[in-house]
Structure 1
Amino acid sequence: MKLPLNSIFILASTALLLTSCELTEVTNPYVTEERFIPSFQSLQTWLNGVRRQASVTVGTVVEFSELVSDNYFNNYTQSSKVFDNPEINYFDQDVANIQASIHKLMEMSKFGLTKLVPLQTGDVNQEKAELLFYQAYAHILGADLYVGLPTEALGEIKSPLQLLQEAISLLEEASSLYAKAEDKDACTILLARCHHRMGNIQEASRFARQAATSPLTLRQVQYGTQNGPSNNFQSAIFSSTTNSFAPLPRLDFLDPKYFHQTATVFEDEKPIAIAKAEEAFLILAEAAAAQQDIGQTKQILKDLLNDVISKRPVIMLDDSRDTRNGGNRNDYPITEVSVKFDEQTTAKEGLVRDRSKGDIPAYKVSGTHVTSRDIDAVRTQDDALYLIYLMRQEIFIAEGRRMTDLGIRFPISQREQLSNNHVTNEHINAIIPDFIPGNRGMDDFVYDKSSATVTMRHDMNKVLVQNKTSPYVMPFIN
């Protein structure tokens, strides 16, 4: 018997591959469903494959969504040449690949839950909880990144709201099964994220307060074994001889987040965070700002600085090879310069590193240039929202989160449209809010060498505040 289209797999040692909703069927005559399911350690073997797929999915999401955002621009790489514009078409192969990767994670988790867990005789609550967690995370990615997605082959298109509601149910069940506090804490952070995205200020605050009691919670996906997967984003920003992705100059001090310090690169590939306690504090601060409680907002942001970010690891790193030597811009500043966030703002120092002078600090989990003095200067709701979204951008850089904060969403892929009659015209159009500048405007800057000053064309956090009532951004305000 063949596995159904959404659950077909090839087993080769411990490497597992699964088709997604729109991929071609693959079969292996030597590893059939009847042989694999009752085999020794089939659940654990499958779970290892799900973990690997989670890493692949997150890596794919980070690579392309960071390009769409104002965090990084394509300075050389063969990755999308149009996402920087941003130009996002349903027939773009990258749109299809991201969707396929999310669907693989969704379907692999579901297969483990429905086909393997019920056959186990021992206590498999922890394995079941982890599969539920990854299935929920795939739903969250679909909700955050796409106009909608099906959750089964040729199925109806679920809206972002529906995807988040399903993710909440999955996370609540996972949390009830997990035994370790750190696993429950990761679920709680994601529950707060779901309710934040839905605009549920009371529920999001409740889960965020609970998560904030464990201020160093950190859940990551792993990279760097001989069997893979590799952290391709690490290669793009650090390991490759050409610096493929370059950060917006005002974010230069946070790059690279992922790097290697050993000669054997594949043994030193950094993990990527998918849930961390910083988010709980940011959600609480945004809730307070939405309710015009500026004093509480400021206190929460100070707690974030003192209790979380200041305790995250900082490594001194030799990054002298990085000369931003891509081909799309040859005017990237590589010495210490002043930075203006737009034409109207005062220049700031220390945001662009001169990497030739010696080791630089590298922030493996979170970093920000925001200080207690900046927080003390907050006077209005707009001041608070600006600082919160600036800190969100800096704290979540290189984690694939910024595109969602900007209100941009991918369309459903053409591959899905051609095979699934539930896909309508509304599903094949990307959401790019009208306040998003085109022609690479989010990534653009002017470097005045005579004054050693770099000026951003647009301060996108200021733009977000100006458009805070848009249905695409700042969910607590709408």
Structure 2
Amino acid sequence: MKKLFIYSALSLSLASCSMDVVNPNITENSFVGTSQSSEIWLAGMKKQLANTLNQAVVFAEIVSDNYYNNSSLTNKVFDGPVLLYSDVDIDNTQRAIARLREMGTYGIERIVPADKGATATAKAEMLFIKAYAHILSGELFVALPMAANTEAVSPAVHFNEAIKLINEAITTQTDATLKNGYQLALLRCYYNLGNRTEALRIANSIIQSSSLMVRNAVFDGLNGASNLQQSYTFSNSTNVLAPLPRLDFLDPKYYHVGNVNTDQKPLAILKSEEAFLVAAEAYLGNNQLEQARTTLKALINDVIAKRPTAMVDAKLQLRKGIRADYPVASATRVQADAQSAAQSKLVLGRLEGNVKVNTVSGTSVTIAELDKAETVDQLLYLLSLIRQQVFMSEGRRMTDLGIRFPVSQIEKLNNKKIDDAFTKAVLPAYIPTGIAMDDFTYDKANNLVVIKHDMNKVLVANKTAPNVFPMLK
């Protein structure tokens, strides 16, 4: 517990991202260069990673069509989606990412060089976590500074900086498993940059060598780092977040049994599923339909089908919040939109006993559906749906929809180098507003739900838009 106290005390200043030590009993000079200082600092970075994800994941899920905020316990305008630079949650997300980035910089430049016992693994992990902060910067925001009080730069600059850091981490790291995980982070950068050649090369390498790899962020409910997505989807008795009914079978991904503080589930920040999805999208960009189909089949059969599941008592997940008409019966059929056929087995029977949940990845897409797809657009639709389902509750869908947060007002007021253009969110014209992405009708007498908008269909129709399907460009 002493180590936890020390690294918690060495947190960064919220307002300035400076490295001032806030614990009066531990000064910078008394800590830097001490035995195990690099390991202690790395532990603090991992805790900050968990806390950063608590901001990024929850809010990105609310913005997307994955979840509706069915309570008053968190942001009520993101469902709109209304994304104003004055929103405190946007500022908190930006601060959390900046803190993680600056912790990485300080650890690499100050802590590791002064610690005679610093290991290659510790330095490589710091490089990786700092790179992950840049990945989040590029995926979630229109632009962000690379350091305190500097101009905001484009997502591409952040992704390229992440690539540089990851490559150094790969060279530094001696642990083969961790090094494989870094390859997934590298893939994610090249995917976001639209570099089809490099993305496909790395994706195929991962597919051949590490098809069931997962890199998790871990949470600690006893020491101030609980999994907030777990709380909002399961552990909190208030029905905070309710999934779109066609995604109900994937909720909860995180749950607790017994003491909630000691049973905090991890959150995947990288997993091999991404390699298959990126490769399939790249093949479609090359008009290679059969290669894309084969890759998606392998994803379902060789990865998703082998991921763990659990039986969970979900009787408290009755979705009785602001909107009380969520289906909770297994007999419910769901139409993706008014023009789509109704599907069964997408809604779990919350009152019918324990429900089976996917703890890493799941999908409703079948091999038969992949075989029936005859065009690029038909396969792209199924790929988009699988991608949505695989990354459910992991904060990735907002980015895939082409939505980006603006630079926060507080950053703008305190940093004169911020361009006014970056204080506006990216909200593409094809995104329905007025909570329409989360809307549906429910005919309880006939057990039928009709989703208002099939956003995967919308994405395919707008596949040439910026930030959508980068492997097709």
TM-score range, shorter chain: over 0.9
Q: Distance in 2 between matches of 1:399 and 1:383?
A: 25
SS, match of residue 442 in structure 2: strand
Q: Distance in 2 between matches of 1:89 and 1:23?
A: 22
- Out of 88, 96, 103, the residue aligned to residue 91 of structure 2 is 96
SS, match of residue 138 in structure 2: helix
Are the equivalent residues in 2 in contact too, given 1:250–1:341 (CA < 8 A)? Answer: yes
Render the CA deviation track for 1:330-371: whole Å, top value 9, x for unaligned.
111111211000010100000011111111111110011111
- Out of 323, 326, 330, the residue aligned to residue 329 of structure 1 is 323
Are the equivalent residues in 2 in contact too, given 1:21–1:153 (CA < 8 A)? Answer: no
Match of 2:448 in 1: 453
Match of 2:238 in 1: 242
The Cα of 1:14 is off from its aligned counterpart by: 3.5
SS, match of residue 219 in structure 1: strand
Q: What is the identity percentage for the equivalent residue pairs of Structure 1 and Structure 2?
A: 45
- Out of 64, 67, 82, the residue aligned to residue 62 of structure 2 is 67
Q: Distance in 1 between matches of 2:62 and 2:24?
A: 41
Q: 2:210 aligned with 1:214, yes or no? A: yes
* Larger mean Cα displacement after TM superposition, 237-246 or 92-101: 237-246
Q: Distance in 1 between matches of 2:234 and 2:41?
A: 32
- After TM superposition, the structure 1 = structure 2 runs for residues 18-417 of structure 1, keeping only pairs within 5 Å, are 18-20=12-14, 22=16, 27-122=22-117, 124-212=119-207, 213-262=209-258, 264-326=259-321, 328-336=322-330, 337-417=332-412
Match of 2:467 in 1: 472
Match of 1:3 in 2: none
SS, match of residue 46 in structure 1: helix
The Cα of 1:59 is off from its aligned counterpart by: 1.7
Return 5+ residue gaps in structure 2 as ranges.
none
SS, match of residue 473 in structure 1: coil
Q: Distance in 1 between matches of 2:369 and 2:72?
A: 36
SS, match of residue 316 in structure 1: strand
How does the TM-score come out when normalised to structure 2? 0.96
SS, match of residue 356 in structure 2: strand
Q: How many residues align?
A: 467
Render the CA deviation track for 1:81-136: whole Å, top value 9, x for unaligned.
10000000001000000000001110111110000111232452111000000000
Root mean square deviation, CA, Å:
1.5
Are the equivalent residues in 1 in contact too, given 2:307–2:360 (CA < 8 A)? Answer: yes
Q: Distance in 2 between matches of 1:137 and 1:176?
A: 17
Are the equivalent residues in 1 in contact too, given 2:38–2:118 (CA < 8 A)? Answer: no
SS, match of residue 450 in structure 1: helix
Match of 1:7 in 2: none
The Cα of 1:28 is off from its aligned counterpart by: 4.0
Residue type matched to 2:203 in 1? A
SS, match of residue 362 in structure 1: strand
SS, match of residue 469 in structure 2: coil
Q: 2:10 aligned with 1:14, yes or no? A: no
Q: Distance in 2 between matches of 1:447 and 1:125?
A: 56
Are the equivalent residues in 2 in contact too, given 1:433–1:472 (CA < 8 A)? Answer: no
Q: Distance in 2 between matches of 1:260 and 1:242?
A: 15
Residue type matched to 1:14 in 2? Y
Residue type matched to 1:13 in 2? I
SS, match of residue 445 in structure 2: coil
Are the equivalent residues in 2 in contact too, given 1:217–1:276 (CA < 8 A)? Answer: yes
Q: Distance in 1 between matches of 2:256 and 2:324?
A: 26
Residue type matched to 2:325 in 1? D
